[in-house]
Amino acid sequence: MSSRAPRKPSPLATDTAAANDTTAAATPDLGERQLYINRELSQLAFNTRVLDQALDQRTPLLERLKFLLIFSRNMDEFFEIRVAGLKGQIALDRELPGADGMAPRQVLEEIAAIAHRQIERQYAILNERILPELAANNIRILRRDEWTHKQKQWVRRYFRTEVAPLVTPIGLDPTHPFPLLVNKSLNFIVRLDGVDAFGRDSGLAVVPAPRVLPRLIPLPPDIVEQGDCYVLLSSIIHAHAEELFPGMNVLGSYQFRLTRNADLALDPEEVEDLALALRGELYSRRFGSAVRLEVADNCPKDLSAYLLRQFGLTESELYEVNGPVNLARLFRIASKVNYPALQYKPFVPSLPKALEHAEDLFAVIARRDVLLLHPYESFTPVVDMLRQAAKDPQVLSIKQTLYRTGADSEIVDALVDAARAGKEVTAVVELRARFDEESNLSLASRLQQAGAMVIYGVVGIKTHAKLMLIQRREGSELVRYAHMGTGNYHAGNARLYTDYSLLTSDAALCDDVHKLFSQLTGMGKVLRLKKLLQAPFTLKQGLLDLIAREAEHVAAGKQARILIKVNALTDSKMIRALYQASIAGVRIDLIVRGMCCLRPGVPGVSENIRVRSVIGRFLEHSRAYWFANGGDPVLYLSSADMMERNLDRRVECAFPVENRKLQQRIHAALELYLDDNSGAADLQPDGSYRPATRATGEAVRDAQAQLLEKLCGVPA
């Protein structure tokens, strides 16, 4: 257990008659920009920590490759959304500095410096560490100069039968202007010599790689000496570029990739049909404004400059890379299943004893609340609860929110079955879940065709809460059962993300869930909830009150402590409240996976605050808010992070865990993260992170490994 003792209340917080004249001068200004870390730079720091995992020799090789590729995906989204947003502010002359005081132009300069350094480092890790280690384990990506005669023949046939028929080379001349290229697509700029059949001699062409073809192609076993060998589509096109330009001399062919603004812009006041408007926006996302250009590092400077001019980008937005420009496509290798020695040990999620042999989930939940911690404990009971409801003649209605689910998921299958069985099924589908919009449009259509009532939530406010409500006739009564979670209704994510699920029949909680659905589907004033905290109405103020109450407990000499686990902390009001509690002497431990704009350890302000980030096998996704409350602990689990968008512009909920045993179980798991000396890093006052260290002879404490061992029986 963590033994860090709280500091005494800061003298800055003293409130006595003698100090009345000096309090204003002594109390720090919590609005000072030096007390806040820029959110974009904090996000970059998280991405860098993900990349760091690719160097951790304790992690199996293919899993280290995954971390390297996850870094690529994270950076893609960072440029598509965050960088694009900053550039948009500048373009519209709406530069709004955050609490940290940094102007968008200044932030972009910092981003460029950090991103260039880390992306260069990423390719160095790939080329100098990961690829050689893969080759040592008989997994190879063969370069063109490594192809044998038989491999060259096979590649030539593949090019002529699979690639060439789908390629559309585009010569650049006055009648063929530079083409409009799809976001993140693989392309080649080709320098040519000669005159074509029509007398054209512009000397340049663009070759977009066919999007329907895989970027990584396995070679047949009969032309490979041993192990698994792959060739890149880019290598195949490079090797046969001259066949695309008959009679011309190809002087050079260089791959490049353009990243565009992928954020969707929907004006709630102008949207009449959200689904229709969203379909139009999804098309435009592919061709948003340019934000980044990646080119092979052997591309001549004049061609790089030419591309920059075409896309309206500057030199600082050019990234020259030593390898494939679309690294995320290497996930095909990282996800291979026939190299167990290079992957994490498999495990079977467990079940709580109450559910091990349960045939009637409703009977179990009627007796007690059931808490599940995914992925260590199975997500199956959540799916089974819905399946049972679909078949149970006593079940009358099912209501559910869907944020990231997948059109073909078991959850949607069960809802479809329920609707076809005549149940009243209502699905609140959030169409604007970023990068899942198309999938959500598809599942909404599928549910509607089955007879379910599909609601798209509230225009302008995303529905992010994770709620399911089942109403069942039991004798003469209508009984409600609810599922509330911190994560999405997505079975795949439930194997990769850490999240909590609560299955309950608590009458007050279920009534609150019912009221929340009524607000989403109907119209009316804010309904008073008994137990749930709900954004955008009561959640933010509720958390602020709980934080302030801990300061009161310190003043009264009672137990006071705050322990919070979230994905991000950026809301300035929340940060100021935590600073005030720290000044009062409250011990505060924050487990923040990603962005954190709070500066811990600042003398006189945040000396009592520690911030940890844990990155490991599973994505830390659960949100928990624990307060000592003078010895009578209060604990909420939530779908919401401590961000402005979650607290002010989303439908979120925080649900209390009141059972003492369940409270203690969650609290004990949170303490494991505070004691972690394996995958944890501590945020420093300057915004950097320092990896947790172990003293000589100290045992390794890995929170995720400990939970795997405790709940799944997997030895650490």
Omega before 536 within 30 of 0, i.e. cis: yes
Do 7 and 608 form a contact (C-beta atoms < 8 A)? Answer: yes
The dihedrals phi and psi of 374, each to the nearest 5 degrees, come to -85, 150
Taking the alpha carbons of 99, 105, 110, 116 in that order, is the dihedral positive or negative?
positive
**Alpha helix (H) residue ranges in 652-695:** 660-675
Structure tokens at 162: 């699979």
Do 586 and 560 form a contact (C-beta atoms < 8 A)? Answer: yes
DSSP 267-317: -TTT-S-HHHHHHHHHHHHTT--EEEEEEETTS-HHHHHHHHHHHT--GGG
Q: Which of 238, 240, 374, 464 is catalytic?
A: 464
**Per-residue DSSP letter, 194:** S
Residues 177, 157: Cα–Cα separation, whole Å: 32
Do 96 and 90 form a contact (C-beta atoms < 8 A)? Answer: no
Structure tokens at 383: 């799916």
Exposure of 137 in the CB half-sphere (CA atoms within 13 A): 16
Do 553 and 631 form a contact (C-beta atoms < 8 A)? Answer: no
Neighbours of 273 (CB within 10 A): 9
Residues 504, 488: Cα–Cα separation, whole Å: 18
**Per-residue DSSP letter, 221:** G
**Could you tell me which residues are beta bridge partners of residue 428?**
401, 455
Q: Is 470 helix (H, G, I), strand (E, B) or coil?
A: strand
**Per-residue DSSP letter, 335:** T
Give the list of residues 6+ apart from residue 5 with CB closer than 8 angstroms, or none: 587
Omega before 375 within 30 of 0, i.e. cis: yes
**For the CA atoms of the chain, what is the radius of gyration?**
28
514: annotated active-site residue: no
Active centre residues (catalytic): 464
